[in-house]
């Protein structure tokens, strides 16, 4: 008749005890790990947003407006409009003969850009409901309308300064290339009379860091790059090769609101 060895039985009990301890401990650790990694979903999800933004870029500044909506859980899309300035390297000069308003030596036209396009945000790292920083990939593109405004200057035509004429800066006039003949910059509004449009396109991509503490309000700091391209060269300077477009890096601050609860 089979007899159970008590020592063998105790060995089995010890093995079972160790196995139960390992299994129970693993379940506890798993529960703790799940608890630490668990992030409750947001109680309220806003479907629409509208933002105003201000931007400083390597060629000037920009003011804009954006409006969009949530089309997937981690993706927003919408349209935007903005007005930007574009500055090329140029030298300021004031004629020594008369204390006049400074002008840009060699600059034929000042340049502004009106953009309208479509783009969106792809959320890379969403923030929990209690706060934090949301990281998103921002992308935009669309129509870019360049606006060139001629620079007008006061030019002296006699040695005593009695004959001073208001003229549009021109590369064909030798007096406009010599600072000794230019007295001062003309009225800024005068440039609107010779405004010339330059149609083109633009593309913009960057990273947005949204750190607003209240879900309904948004405060975002963005970094990225943008490029404006036109069909013809932009006549900005006299003695420099004029560009087809402008490549810039930017820093952007965006603020606005979310609305439309799902």
Domain ranges for the chain, please list them: 47-261
Task: Give the separation between CA 174 and CA 195, rounded to whole angstroms.
Answer: 23
* Contacts of 166 by beta carbon, 8 Å cutoff, 6+ apart: 152, 153, 154, 155, 186, 190
The per-residue pLDDT for range 54-68, each reduced to its tens digit, is: 999 998 999 999 998
Q: What is the mean pLDDT of residues 7-16?
A: 49
Alpha-carbon distance values, 55 to 167, 203, 205 (Å)? 34, 15, 14
Beta bridge partners of 139: 120, 205
- Determine the pLDDT at residue 259: 81
Beta bridge partners of 247: 227
Q: Is the pLDDT of residue 108 over 80?
A: yes
Provide the whole-model pTM.
0.75
Backbone angles phi, psi at 61, to 5 degrees: -145, 165
Q: Is the pLDDT of residue 4 over 50?
A: no
- Determine the pLDDT at residue 221: 94
The per-residue pLDDT for range 76-90, each reduced to its tens digit, is: 889 999 999 998 766
Strand ranges in 46-178 using DSSP code E only, listed in sequence order: 46-57, 60-72, 75-86, 91-93, 103-105, 109-125, 134-150, 152-156, 164-168
Q: Is the pLDDT of residue 39 over 60?
A: no
Q: Is the pLDDT of residue 174 over 60?
A: yes
Task: Give the separation between CA 31 and CA 35, rounded to whole angstroms.
Answer: 6
Alpha-carbon distance values, 159 to 92, 163, 258 (Å)? 23, 9, 65
Tell me the fold of 47-261.
Porin (2.40.160)
Q: Is the pLDDT of residue 27 over 50?
A: no
Alpha-carbon distance values, 100 to 95, 96, 184, 233 (Å)? 7, 9, 5, 31
């Amino acid at each position: 008749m089979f007899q159970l060895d008590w020592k063998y039985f105790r060995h089995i009990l010890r093995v079972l005890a160790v196995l139960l301890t390992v299994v129970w401990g693993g379940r506890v650790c798993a529960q703790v790990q799940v608890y630490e990694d668990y992030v409750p979903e947001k109680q309220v999800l806003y479907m629409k947003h509208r933002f105003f933004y201000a931007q400083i870029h390597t060629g000037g500044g920009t003011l804009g407006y954006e409006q969009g909506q949530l089309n997937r859980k981690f993706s927003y899309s919408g349209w935007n409009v903005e007005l930007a300035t574009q500055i090329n390297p140029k030298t300021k000069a004031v004629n020594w003969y008369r204390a006049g308003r400074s002008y840009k030596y060699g600059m034929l036209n000042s340049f502004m850009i009106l953009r309208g396009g479509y783009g969106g945000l792809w959320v890379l790292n969403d923030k929990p409901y209690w706060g934090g920083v949301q990281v998103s990939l921002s992308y935009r593109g669309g129509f870019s309308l360049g606006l060139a405004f001629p620079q007008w200057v006061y030019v002296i035509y006699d040695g005593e300064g009695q004959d001073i004429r208001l003229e549009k800066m021109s590369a064909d006039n030798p007096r406009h290339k010599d600072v000794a003949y230019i007295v001062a910059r003309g009225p800024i509004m005068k440039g609107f009379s010779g405004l010339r449009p330059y149609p083109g396109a633009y593309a913009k991509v960057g990273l947005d860091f949204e750190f607003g503490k209240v879900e309904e309000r948004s405060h975002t700091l963005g970094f990225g790059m943008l490029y404006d391209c036109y069909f013809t060269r932009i006549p900005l300077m006299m003695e420099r090769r004029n560009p087809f477009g402008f490549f810039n890096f930017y820093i952007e601050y965006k603020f606005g609101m979310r609305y439309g609860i799902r």
